[in-house]
Chains A and B, each alone.
Chain A
């Protein structure tokens, strides 16, 4: 496998403009001759499908939800970054680029990140024109706030529901195209295979989740915008259905999977309350603007928060990182919280959290102002825990939130399978080893509205006059048969344990061994334990019901089977990466004061893995990273 990132030549400021000029175009009359399949209707998928529809392509958009509006992008709370410099505080495209490369701990591609920063500006324009009700100043101009990992205010937001409002904007743009007849929307349908014919992705095999019918669909190109794989941990902030199946099946068909070990543990989530916890809820990072994080100094302190005097509290982030304080990047904040809890200073009934305290801000700004900023988050917290953050500090703890790794893509967001494009969290491209807050929404929309429609055009232009392979081709039949086989196997296994049982067991291994801190021995044991558990799963899973009706357990069985293989790759990737960077913390590689120690000499590359068949270790391919504009240095937030 040859990996070519196809980064254009020239000064970074001009790359995207020049590239767009050099790309081939499809004339308007020819666009409707091209069929494009988009899988997933979150920010990246809905935006890409809508924009491709506006351009005149024939788009078919699949979602496993009953409506595109349910995609997990909807749950993003805090905001979206853009280099508008409306706050006049020294922001610029270059600074957003710089912050993102640095925040990603120098493991992202400069060219992609620069384009992201440039595009951010147009995203805000587009969303405002669509009617996204961003927060406003009294004069009517857009309001900004600050976010972790940066020192400027460049985050646009809509209360604590920014993801919802941006997704609804993209969903509405998509529905406008459905109405116009350029996009065919197929809900409650899950992709189970990518079909590669003559070396190009030419279609997909999907399962109708209501009737169970398995069908083939062919197209000139396929876009995957299917989100991340955080649910490999079982407990995460991801929605319950979020899964890696589409991306993983593409990997099995030849798409390289990059940086699988780069997973983000978000520092401010509500701690688990017990064994039956089904998911974790994130409290927006924006809370760290006005909340102060602390634990009692004494390990055995069992007093309630309000009984602990100021002198007996340790505001450990402010102490260790005086210049960024509570606003250090996510990976730094998460590891710091883990250290406090591991050393026995955790708070709450299970001693599994740290305090996020608003008392000082309430005193300074007043209760009303705090309610205005975070009212819905406070309500959400109270509903879940039964405690009022105006009276008692919140309890928070890190939880899996986002996966920087994903399918490898070049500058055009094309995977190593020609014709298969990947956008949003499903690709690996822009966040390096750690994503900054309010940058996921930015990347999803940049990919969907601006990058994919342009680069797909260039690819499609080369196919003018050709028809995609018919769904009667042998490759489609083979893919359909493999889905049917797998279905039959699960339904007939009739073992002892439910799919969720195995998913939880897998999650425990992944969280313990490939979580916030990783070491060689743990990763090697994960590489033994995961395949062993997968064998148990294949032998002993119990899936009831039938193949030809709605069957939640069957859907989950497909997803969990893929999580097993993905978890193994995460361990392999983490074992290979003998350094600490961003979300990947190898215990063996830390500085004297416990900070991540990168090894630029040996690991300044993207680790892209090639599938070699079931049960076989993947082959590593390295895409070397070069830094011409942001000089790699140890990240310091002190």
Chain B
């Protein structure tokens, strides 16, 4: 198969970028999209042109490193697929494919298709954990977790932190990411002690960096793990309750 790639090139955050057109030839349908970029990069190196910078690592859809807009869609066509899991059999021979970095105000561009997603770490840092220091844990089976609860928590916990939800959102909002982490913890019995502090801190940190949610729902279709926007409803509920409960609790202390 042969493809024409229009790839966004930008050598740094303060430099003007542009699309460059590259040909990818002799591609097999079993190759992944990132392997096509590898082939293009090898050609570029041969020609003395600096290769395209893009984040990638595990190449099996779990590390969340890779992510790019492919033909305007986060992670490209296909559902529940990270860029590294997108195979060329999805495309037609001769297709022209446009490749851009994630675009969101909170994700500043580093180089070419690489962006800085550290704002997502700031959200986790603000409460996306259960405070239990090493050594302080009770015997594991003392905390029974009903299977349905464990399954629901796991559904949310599957998030790989790639940022596709933010990139797909017209507002550049990070509600799906934040809510997924929050609900993973807030659904579990272990997460109850900090449930409302967590909700308040995580939402407020999120709002420092990201846009607001207006229920477009694009995020859940872009999500390579298929996380449902239901978690956002739960987050909103917890945040509302937090506004009441945290005040009451702090009054008692």
- The answer to whether A164 and B62 have CB atoms under 8 Å apart is yes
* Interface SS, B side: loop
Contact B28 A273 (CB under 8 A): yes
B56 at the interface (CB under 8 A from A): yes
Q: Judge whether A124 is part of the interface by a CB distance below 8 angstroms.
A: yes
- Cross-chain contact B134 with A453 (CB below 8 angstroms): yes
Residues of chain A within 8 A (CB-CB) of B49 are 544
CB <8 Å contact, A279 and B59: yes
Q: Which of A162-204 contact B (CB under 8 A)?
A: 163-165, 168, 171-173, 175-176, 178-179, 185, 187
A74 within 8 A of B: yes
What is A's interface to B at a CB cutoff of 8 Å?
Answer: 47, 50-51, 54, 65-72, 74-75, 84, 86, 122, 124-131, 133-142, 158-159, 161, 163-165, 168, 171-173, 175-176, 178-179, 185, 187, 210, 239-241, 273-274, 276-279, 281-282, 379-380, 383-386, 449-450, 453, 498, 500-501, 542, 544-545, 549-550, 552-553
Whether, in the assembled complex, B146 has its beta carbon less than 8 Å from a beta carbon of chain A, the answer is: yes
- Convert B124-142 into 0s and 1s, putting 1 for each residue whose CB lies closer than 8 angstroms to a CB of A: 1110111111111111110
Which residue of B57, B138, B144 contacts A65 across the interface (Cβ within 8 Å)?
A: B57
Question: Does B65 make an interface contact (CB < 8 A)?
Answer: yes
Q: Are B59 and A239 in contact (CB under 8 A)?
A: yes
Give the Cβ gap from A484 to chain B, nearest Cβ, in Å: 21
Q: Considering residues B42, B126, B133, B188, which has the most beta carbons from chain A within 10 angstroms of its beta carbon?
A: B133
Are B144 and A139 neighbours in the complex by a CB distance under 8 Å? yes
Chain A nearest Cβ from B223, distance in angstroms: 14
- Distance (whole angstroms) from the CB of A31 to the closest CB of chain B: 13
| B30/A175 in contact, CB under 8 A | no
Q: Are A67's CB and B161's CB within 8 A?
A: yes
Question: Given the complex of chains A and B, what is the CA–CA distance between A75 and B158 in angstroms?
Answer: 12
Q: Does B85 make an interface contact (CB < 8 A)?
A: yes
Give Cα A165 to B130, complex, Å: 14
Contact size range, B: 35 or more
- Counting CB contacts under 8 A, is B244 at the interface? no
Residues of B whose CB lies within 8 Å of any CB of A are 11-12, 28-32, 34-35, 38-39, 42, 45-46, 48-51, 53, 55-65, 80-81, 85, 87, 89, 110-111, 114, 116-118, 120-121, 124-126, 128-141, 143-147, 150-151, 153-154, 157-158, 160-161, 184-185, 188, 190-191
Whether the pair B53, A129 counts as a contact (CB closer than 8 A) is no
Are B190 and A130 interface neighbours, CB within 8 A? yes
Query: Could you say which residues of chain B place their CB within 8 Å of the CB of A136?
Result: 145-147, 150-151
Q: Please name the residue on chain B nearest to A48 by beta carbon.
A: B134
A161 touches which one: B118, B141, B158 (CB < 8 A)?
B158
Contact indicator B58/A72 (Cβ below 8 Å): yes
- Do A72 and B57 touch across chains, with their CB atoms under 8 A apart? yes
How far in angstroms is the closest Cβ of chain B from A169?
9
Closest to A53 in B: B133
List of A residues within 8 angstroms of B130 by Cβ: 129-131, 172
New contact pairs (16) apart from A70-B58, A75-B58, CB-CB < 8 Å: A66-B55, A74-B58, A75-B60, A127-B140, A129-B130, A130-B190, A133-B151, A138-B146, A175-B125, A187-B121, A239-B57, A274-B30, A384-B30, A450-B134, A544-B45, A549-B111
CA separation between A133 and B187, bound complex, in Å?
10
